[in-house]
């Protein structure tokens, strides 16, 4: 099967991007270097083509009730223009995907599932919507998403669209949604709209100085902030509590997976924890974690933090913050410890 | 276009070798290799005095995305390592043929399986 391309493929390749297969899409992994791009987002502003991500719109009189039932968040608490990060669970409390929920207005809502989960989430929504008066429309194939991230992002957004957005708030311009969201932990926004507008926004922002950023730096940026990567930190068998994301749950509403989470709350279970390497080295997903000479887990994510210049990773473990562990990197036990996330 | 200096010898594993007046072999990775690896963020180098046969893994270059083995281009003993790479592994990207050298070896065997600059250019073309 051939890989899908975003309308900006030509621009990416002209900018010198190395293209890779990501969830069936040919996407830029880096343009110049991961470290340079990472630092550009932390210190200036970067722009990401994340058009592989999905856009599923939900409308209808029961949209609020339905989305509250489907997600860990209670949409009754959300006002027009609010955005919120939350999880979509199955009956066992296992995460199917994480998403941002957008309340565009009282009649229109948007979810942004990960590229590899779009059809699964669309089917999940359709299969659970029988008792609700809603219209579910998957527009992933006809919508783009660009993320503009970094301390300079608000200035560039002002220059480009003569507007500003607050964190986790959105504004609409004709058919385009601009939201104060992203996955880097920096100030900035995401621009979502119909595909035929993508080149206008990309080219204007690149011309204004936004630096194109690939998926490689997207991974190090999100990992430094302890953000989850779908398909890696959760892949079908992990609950929201296990990922240590209890803050995305509003317990005071009915939602799929709630009973399972309530039972799990009473038990002891490993939680996704930050691992900081004290020796020199780079952590990788799959590295074994040892405590008192016993293997206790493996890393779900691992890399080098370009900001800290240390190996960092995530692993499901049941140890207190500060516990000393070793991580096996290419056959050698390196020293590390359990730390609180975000790493910075 | 990758730089391939004419005064060096090369291997098909993208290492370069420079033989000095004492017959010692200075080893690093090529401009093409550093570009393919991208940001080298950590170098694991051998100890001085360790011995390798041609083709053994003697060092590891780690980039943000992956770890890559560096092979001994000749059989012999490590007599010098570039300590600067511990603090500044980025020298491999910035200066692959000069400040980014990795080790110096003393070898008994002659360099027979090596490529000259012309053949190496063809290999990476």
8 Å CB contact between A305 and A223: yes
- How many whole angstroms separate alpha carbon B12 and alpha carbon B2? 15
The β-bridge partners of A101 are: A84, A111
A33 touches chain B (CB under 8 A): yes
- How many whole angstroms separate alpha carbon A150 and alpha carbon A45? 4
Which residue has 């910075």 as its token pair? Answer: A344
CB neighbour list of residue A215: distance below 8 Å, 6 or more residues apart: A20, A22, A27, A28, A29, A30
Q: Which CATH class is domain A270-339?
A: mainly beta
Topology adopted by domain A4-50+141-224: Gyrase A; domain 2 (3.30.1360)
> From the list B39, B60, B86, which residue is nearest A34 (CB)?
B39
- For residue B71, the number of C-alpha atoms closer than 13 Å in the C-beta half-sphere is 13
Separate counts of helices (H) and strands (E) for chain A = 8, 20
| pLDDT score for B108 | 75
Take residue A201 and report the two structure tokens written for it.
Answer: 């926004």
* Residue in chain A nearest B38 by alpha carbon: A33
| pLDDT score for A6 | 95
| pLDDT score for B111 | 67
- First and final C-alpha spacing in chain A: 40
Domain boundaries, chain B: 9-112
- For residue A132, the number of C-alpha atoms closer than 13 Å in the C-beta half-sphere is 21
Smallest CA–CA distance, residue A127 to chain B, in Å, is 39
Chain-chain contact of B38 with A34 (C-beta, under 8 angstroms): yes
Using a CB-CB cut-off of 8 Å, the residues of chain B touching A29 are 65
Chain-chain contact of B41 with A284 (C-beta, under 8 angstroms): no
| pLDDT score for A195 | 97
Q: How far is CA A284 from the centre of its chain?
A: 19
> With 70 as the cut, is the pLDDT of residue A202 above it?
yes
On whether the A56-138 domain is CATH 3.30.70.1400, my answer is yes
Using a CB-CB cut-off of 8 Å, the residues of chain B touching A303 are 64
A152-169 pLDDT, tens digit per residue, is 999 999 999 999 999 999
> From the list B38, B42, B60, which residue is nearest A30 (CB)?
B38
Across the range B45-62, mean pLDDT stands at: 95
| pLDDT score for A1 | 67
For A158, list phi and psi in degrees, rounded to 5. Answer: -60, -45
Listed range (A21-25, B96-100, B110-114) with the worst mean pLDDT: B110-114
- How many whole angstroms separate alpha carbon A278 and alpha carbon A336? 5
Residue A120 annotated as binding site: no
Across the range A313-335, mean pLDDT stands at: 97
* Residue in chain A nearest B87 by alpha carbon: A280
- How many whole angstroms separate alpha carbon B69 and alpha carbon B55? 10
Listed range (A286-290, A339-343, B63-67) with the worst mean pLDDT: B63-67
Which residue has 């780690």 as its token pair? Answer: B62
- How many whole angstroms separate alpha carbon A275 and alpha carbon A296? 13
H helix or E strand, kind and range, residue A14: helix A9-14
Q: Within a 10 A sphere around the Cβ of A199, how many other Cβ atoms?
A: 14
A180-192 pLDDT, tens digit per residue, is 999 999 999 999 9
Indicate the CATH number for domain B9-112: 2.40.50.100
Chain-chain contact of A330 with B60 (C-beta, under 8 angstroms): yes
Across the range A107-134, mean pLDDT stands at: 97
Domain boundaries, chain A: 4-50+141-224, 56-138, 270-339
């Amino acid at each position: 099967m051939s890989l899908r391309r975003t309308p900006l493929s030509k621009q990416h390749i002209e900018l010198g991007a190395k293209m890779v297969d990501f969830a069936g899409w040919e996407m830029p992994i880096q343009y110049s270097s991961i470290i340079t791009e990472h630092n550009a987002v932390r210190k200036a502003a970067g722009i990401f083509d994340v058009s592989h991500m999905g856009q599923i719109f939900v409308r209808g009189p029961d949209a609020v009730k339905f989305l509250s039932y489907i997600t860990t968040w209670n949409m009754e608490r959300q006002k027009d223009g609010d955005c919120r990060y939350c999880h979509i669970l199955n009956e066992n409390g296992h995460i199917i995907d994480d998403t941002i929920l957008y309340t565009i207005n009282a009649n229109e809502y948007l979810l942004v599932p990960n590229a590899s989960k779009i059809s699964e989430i669309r089917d999940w929504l359709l299969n659970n919507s029988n008792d609700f008066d809603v219209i579910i429309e998957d527009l992933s194939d006809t919508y783009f998403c660009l993320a503009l991230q970094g301390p300079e992002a608000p200035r560039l957004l002002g220059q480009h669209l003569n507007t500003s957005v607050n964190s986790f708030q959105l504004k609409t311009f004709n058919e385009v949604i601009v939201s104060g969201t992203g996955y880097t932990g920096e100030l900035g926004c995401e621009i979502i709209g119909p595909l035929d507008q993508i080149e206008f926004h990309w080219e204007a922002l690149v011309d204004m100085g936004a630096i194109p950023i690939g998926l490689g730096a997207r991974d190090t940026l999100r990992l430094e902030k302890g953000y989850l990567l779908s398909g890696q930190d959760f892949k079908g068998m992990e609950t929201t509590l296990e990922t240590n994301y209890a803050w995305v749950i509003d317990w005071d509403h009915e939602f799929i997976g709630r009973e399972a989470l309530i039972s799990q709350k009473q038990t002891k279970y490993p939680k996704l924890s930050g691992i900081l390497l004290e020796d020199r080295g780079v952590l990788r997903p799959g590295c074994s974690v040892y405590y008192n000479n016993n293997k206790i887990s493996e890393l779900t994510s691992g890399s080098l933090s370009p900001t800290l210049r240390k190996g960092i990773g995530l692993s499901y473990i049941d140890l207190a913050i500060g516990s000393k562990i070793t991580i096996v990197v290419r056959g050698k036990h390196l020293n590390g410890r359990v730390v609180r996330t975000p790493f910075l | 276009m990758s730089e391939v200096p004419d005064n060096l010898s090369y291997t098909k594993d993208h290492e370069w070798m420079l033989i000095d007046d004492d017959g010692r072999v200075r080893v690093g990775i090529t401009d093409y290799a550093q570009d393919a690896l991208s940001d080298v963020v950590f170098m694991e180098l051998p100890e001085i005095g360790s011995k390798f046969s041609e083709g053994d893994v003697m060092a590891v270059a780690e980039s943000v995305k992956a770890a890559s083995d560096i092979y001994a281009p000749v059989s012999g003993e490590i007599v010098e390592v570039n300590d600067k790479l511990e603090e500044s592994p980025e020298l491999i990207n910035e200066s692959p043929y000069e400040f980014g050298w990795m080790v110096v070896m003393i070898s008994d065997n002659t360099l027979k399986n090596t490529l000259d600059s012309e053949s190496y250019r063809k290999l990476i073309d």
